[in-house]
Copies of this chain bind each other. A is one copy, B any other.
Amino acid sequence: MATPSSAVVRAFAPASASNIACGFDIFGFAAEGWGDTVEARRREEPGVVLTAIEGDDGVLPREAAKNTAGIAVMQFLAEVGAPETGIALRLTKGMPLRSGLGSSAASAVAALTAVNALLGAPLAKERLLAAAVAAEAAACGSAHADNAAPSLYGGFVLVRGGARPEVTPLPVPAELTCAFLHPPLEVDTGAARKLLGDHIPLHAAVTQWGNTAALVAALFREDWALLQSALVDVVAEPVRSRLVPGFAQIQAAARAEGALGCSLSGSGPTLFALCRGLPQAERAAATMAMALTTATGLTGETQVTRVGAAGARVLP
């Protein structure tokens, strides 16, 4: 067992967008601006406890074994062969829950980053990622790293594989920015996944894998026209967007502002619009919010971020 390097460690992990139009279950990027903070300290008694959660309006389970932050740390302690270590966690949510922004992944990744530092960094990033994915699988029922990976690594990542994910960080053009609009709605991720069915048309699949290939080439070349043509989802968006009232109007508003692409973040209800430069993202966020209100009467929360944001980190 590694020696504790300090008595208390705080770590931050950003929210993340996943899928990114064509890249269902394979692409994600860190969404700086939103994110979770976890404070971890040793305690005398064995086991992991959550002493406090803030910023969740009392919604999340307080029991460590039912919260992704707690589960992730238990997974971590099992990994390092010290399951009886006593750890106390405080979680501060800085992002909307069940929004398609990887809230549970951000909690798990922040907790793992804090505890790894607290215990002298015994695990490398890929093993932290595996622990985060296992925690998400336990809490949410499906193992996907497309939120945990960008939250941990930062930037824009390609994720392949389920329980043992392989992460390929992709280059991010410095000017690439994102406008988010989070409508005050909830989408059940499981229900959104079922909507897709087990099979998809071959011609749609071909379009999709042509677009994922083109998206990667566009990021390497900083080819904005190619990026725009690649940010098209013919598989998930057509069925899932029905769960988000006003989707078509919001997407049209983002496009009218010149956004490169606009779709659901994860299974929604949050929408992202990739843009070139912060001013365009600011304008897109404003017009998307207006479109939501016009279409539904609802007021959404917006966020503007660079896409090349850093991943999880220990706070000073």
Measured CB to CB, the residues of A under 8 A from B are 22-27, 158-160, 166, 168, 170, 196-202, 205-217, 220, 226, 229, 235
Contacts and interface: CB of A to CB of B under 8 A. Distances in A.
Contacts of A160: 207, 210-211, 214, 229
Chain copies in the assembled complex: 2
A230 to B, nearest CB: 9
Contacts of A217: 158, 168, 170, 216, 220
Contacts of A200: 199-200, 202, 205
A266 to B, nearest CB: 15
A180 to B, nearest CB: 23
14 contacts: A23-B209, A160-B210, A168-B214, A196-B202, A197-B202, A198-B201, A198-B202, A200-B200, A205-B205, A205-B209, A205-B235, A209-B209, A209-B212, A216-B216
Given A217-B220, A229-B166, A158 B202 contact: no
Identify the interface centre among A159, A198, A209, A216: most chain B CB within 10 Å of its CB: A209
Contacts of A220: 216-217, 220
A214 B22 CA distance: 14
A212 B159 CA distance: 12
A137 to B, nearest CB: 15
B212 A213 contact: yes
Contact of A208 (B205, B211, B229): B205
A168 B209 contact: no
Contacts of A206: 24-26
A160 B160 CA distance: 22
A213 B166 contact: no
Contacts of A25: 206, 210
Nearest to A220: B220
Nearest to A168: B217
A168 B226 contact: yes
A260 to B, nearest CB: 16
A143 to B, nearest CB: 12
Nearest to A218: B168
Nearest to A144: B206
A72 B205 CA distance: 29
A286 to B, nearest CB: 32
